[in-house]
C-alpha cells in the first residue's frame, strides 16, 4: 500500500514538472518598447520637423558689417544691377538696390529721380524705377529675407504692393552678397553728391557739373557733364549726337568718351587728388586717351565729396 502511494505521488510529481515545462506561450516575444529607449519618439508635445530648410539669413544670425554684390551689364539696357546691405545686431538694417551704366554717368536711382530713366512717361508704369526699388529694399529690411518671394517666368512678383519691375536680379544679388560675407568699407559717407562751377565759361558758354555716388563708403558712379548758358541739351548728349564735334576738329575721341575715361579713373583711384594735371593747361598724362582739360573735373569732384567726409 505504501509502495503504491509512493508510486502515485511520484507520477503526479512528474506530471506537474512536465506541465510546467510545456505551458509556455507559442507567441513571439514582445517587441522592445522603443518609446522607453527613445523618449522623443513618445513626446506628443514635440514640434514636427520643418519641411523647408531655414533661410540662409535667419533673423539675427548675420555677421555685422557691409555687404555688396553686382551683376553683369545687360546687353540690351546697358545697366548693371548692384545691391549693398548693412547688417547690425545680426539683422539687415538697410538695403540699397541700384544700377550702373556701361557708359558711366549717373547711377540708376539718380537717373530715375531726375526723370531721365522715365518709366512712367516712357512705358506707362505705375511708379518710377527708384520708387519701386525702395519698396523692395523696405520689404527686405522688414522680412530679413527674399526667400519667400514667388517670382513668375519674367522675374516679377505679386507679393509686394506697388512693384511691377523685374526683381529677380535683386533677389539673386541679395543672396550673393550675403553668401560672400562682409566687405571693407570706404572712407566716404554713402549718398549722391553734386557740384557745379560758379559761372559759365565766358568763351565756351559751358558750366561744368560733377555728380558722385558713394555706396558702402566707396565711389561707385561718377557723372561729368556740362550745362550751356543758352540752355538746350547737356554736354554729354550733344557730344553723343555729334553736335560738340571734337573728332571733327582733330581730337582722338569725342568729349563724352574722354569724360567717361576720367570718370572711370576716379572710380578706380577713389580720390580726385590722384588725378595729377598740368597747372598751366589743366591737362593730364595720367589717364590714357584723355586730352581734354580735367582741372575743372578734379576740382568739382573734390568739392562734391566734401559733403561725404
CA–chain centroid gap for 93, Å, is 13
CB 162, CB 133: distance < 8 Å: no
Q: Where are the alpha helices (DSSP H) in 31-102?
A: 34-37
Determine the pLDDT at residue 7.
42
Q: Is 20 exposed, middle or buried (0-12, 13-18, 19+ CB in 10 A)?
A: exposed
CB 136, CB 170: distance < 8 Å: yes
For each of the chain's 309 residues, which pLDDT tens digit applies?
A: 444 434 444 444 444 443 444 444 333 333 333 333 333 333 333 333 333 343 445 567 999 999 999 999 999 999 999 999 999 999 999 999 999 999 999 999 999 999 999 999 998 999 999 999 999 999 999 999 999 999 999 999 999 999 999 999 999 999 999 999 999 999 999 999 999 999 999 999 999 999 999 999 999 999 999 999 999 999 999 999 999 999 999 999 999 999 999 999 999 999 999 999 999 999 999 999 999 999 999 999 999 999 999
Instruction: Write down all domains in the chain, each with its CATH number in brackets.
Output: 65-180 (3.90.1010.20), 191-308 (3.90.1010.20)
The cell numbers describing 172, all together, are 539673386
CA terminus-to-terminus distance, the chain: 127
The cell numbers describing 217, all together, are 563708403
Place of cell 563708403: 217
Amino acid at each position: 500500500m505504501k509502495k503504491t502511494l509512493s508510486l502515485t505521488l511520484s507520477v503526479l510529481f512528474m506530471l506537474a514538472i512536465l506541465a510546467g515545462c510545456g505551458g509556455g506561450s507559442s507567441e513571439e516575444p514582445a517587441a522592445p518598447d522603443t518609446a522607453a529607449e527613445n523618449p522623443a519618439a513618445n513626446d506628443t508635445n514635440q514640434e514636427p520637423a520643418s519641411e523647408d530648410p531655414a533661410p540662409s539669413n535667419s533673423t539675427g544670425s548675420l555677421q555685422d558689417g557691409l555687404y555688396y554684390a553686382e551683376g553683369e551689364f545687360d546687353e540690351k539696357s546697358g545697366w548693371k544691377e548692384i545691391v549693398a546691405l548693412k547688417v547690425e545686431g545680426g539683422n539687415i538694417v538697410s538695403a540699397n538696390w541700384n544700377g550702373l551704366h556701361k557708359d558711366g554717368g549717373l547711377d540708376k536711382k539718380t537717373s530715375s529721380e531726375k526723370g531721365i530713366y522715365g518709366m512712367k512717361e516712357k512705358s506707362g508704369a505705375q511708379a518710377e524705377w527708384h520708387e519701386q526699388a525702395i519698396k523692395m529694399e523696405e520689404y527686405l529690411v522688414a522680412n530679413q529675407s527674399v526667400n519667400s518671394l514667388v517670382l513668375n517666368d519674367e522675374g516679377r512678383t505679386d507679393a509686394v504692393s506697388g512693384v511691377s519691375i523685374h526683381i529677380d536680379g535683386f533677389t539673386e544679388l541679395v543672396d550673393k552678397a550675403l553668401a560672400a560675407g562682409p566687405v571693407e568699407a570706404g572712407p566716404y559717407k554713402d549718398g549722391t553728391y553734386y557740384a557745379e562751377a560758379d559761372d559759365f565759361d565766358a568763351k565756351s558758354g559751358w558750366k561744368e557739373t560733377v555728380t558722385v555716388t558713394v555706396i558702402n563708403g566707396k565711389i561707385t558712379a561718377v557723372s561729368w557733364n556740362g550745362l550751356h548758358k543758352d540752355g538746350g541739351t547737356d554736354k554729354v548728349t550733344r557730344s553723343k549726337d555729334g553736335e560738340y564735334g571734337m573728332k571733327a576738329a582733330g581730337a582722338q575721341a569725342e568729349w563724352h568718351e574722354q569724360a567717361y575715361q576720367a570718370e572711370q579713373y576716379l572710380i578706380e583711384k577713389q580720390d580726385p587728388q590722384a588725378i595729377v594735371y598740368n597747372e598751366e593747361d589743366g591737362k593730364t598724362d595720367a589717364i590714357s586717351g584723355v586730352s581734354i582739360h580735367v582741372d575743372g573735373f578734379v576740382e568739382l569732384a573734390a568739392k562734391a565729396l566734401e559733403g561725404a567726409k
